[in-house]
Chains A and B, each alone.
Chain A
């Protein structure tokens, strides 16, 4: 079984600020996967990234970057130079290697003001 904590319920920033969304997960498995999804105001769930537990390299995709720290069980997500279109709820979701159901956190609502 896995557990995920997204301690930040809501974050409010002004456009162009950098913002980091925290995700702490708990799992007893050595093989697992970590996902981030974005849910904009329109409601759809958009896949952002998947990492496996054996790959601790950080990932950068445009303004998005992810920092995976296995030692602290964290998989944080940073948006550089935030934009209004980044306003959404962001979900972190670990998936244990023996399971097929990701555990979705409660999400962090990011509001980017112009």
Chain B
């Protein structure tokens, strides 16, 4: 079975540009999570969806970040405009339900110049 799929794997962009990260959760999983990992802050939860509905977005840094889950098999995380401090690895994870084991995608390494 396919795991969590993320695209792109690497993204290099210039400050001020819009960035869209994509995630396809494991089929049948009802919960989806977006995380950000940096050396300074470790792994941080950005937003959590359950049954396509955002449940907790308290980790979203600011209005420049937005996330959507239009259906059970697709989610996006958008940064507009991007800034150098957004450079990080962004992970998407999914689980059967909120408290079940989270399975992570390979991550998107974002570099904002």
Chain A: residues with CB nearer than 8 A to chain B? 33, 35, 37, 43-47, 50, 91, 95, 97, 99-102, 104, 106-107
Contacts and interface: CB of A to CB of B under 8 A. Distances in A.
A97 B101 contact: no
B101 A35 contact: yes
B48 A101 contact: yes
Interface of B: 31, 33, 42-43, 45, 48, 50, 55-56, 89, 91, 93, 98-99, 101-107, 109
Given A50-B101, A100-B98, A45 B45 contact: no
B103 A47 contact: yes
A101 B42 CA distance: 14
A37 to B, nearest CB: 8
| Interface SS majority for chain A | loop
A37 B107 CA distance: 15
A51 to B, nearest CB: 11
B38 to A, nearest CB: 12
Contacts of A106: 42
7 contacts: A35-B101, A44-B107, A45-B91, A47-B102, A95-B99, A101-B33, A107-B42
Given A43-B89, A97-B99, A91 B43 contact: yes
